[in-house]
Amino acid sequence: MKVAELAKSLGTTADTVRYYSRLGLLKPAKSVNGYKSYSNKEVSRLKFILSARNLGFSVVDIKEIINESEDGKSACPLVRSLIKERLEETEKQFQAMLALRGKMSSALSRWEEMEDKAPTANMVCHLIENFEQIKKT
């Protein structure tokens, strides 16, 4: 199967297939005419990669998981450990986004009551520049 065929069959792009090939996660065979051909094993490997990426695993994680598997070991303990780490990271990011959302909402409600001002030599936009001061008072 050629790059475009593989990409189409899995609903991704040829660039994605080439990217994972450049990283060594996919190992296509090269034909005499220079085309890369992907076996059923590579199709399965790409399905795995796309699923792992969809779950939030990084490319580094995926390489580690594949290496574990290629060494004949079950990758399941590693996968569980990594997903716990990714979940903790995601929770921290989520909490940070909630805090940012609160700040934005607070800013918007305050700014709707404030008048517009022209910029000066020392001010670009008083809404932003005075936000922390207003919040503290």
Domain residue ranges in the chain: 1-54, 58-137
Tens of pLDDT, residue by residue over 71-117, are 999 999 999 999 999 999 999 999 999 999 999 999 999 899 889 99
pLDDT for res 132: 76
Question: What gap in Å lies between CA 45 and CA 87, rounded to an integer?
Answer: 24
* Closest to 57 measured CA to CA, from 77, 79, 32: 79
* Closest to 109 measured CA to CA, from 75, 136, 86, 135: 135
pLDDT for res 6: 95
CB 12 within 8 A of CB 50: yes
Give the contacts of 13 (CB within 8 A, at least 6 positions apart). 7
Tens of pLDDT, residue by residue over 31-60, are 778 888 999 999 999 999 999 999 999 999
CB count in 10 Å sphere of residue 27 = 13
For the entire predicted model, the pTM comes to 0.76
pLDDT for res 3: 93
Domain 1-54: give its CATH code. 1.10.1660.10
pLDDT for res 34: 80
pLDDT band at 129 (very low <50, low <70, confident <90, very high): confident
DSSP bridge pairs for 120 = 123
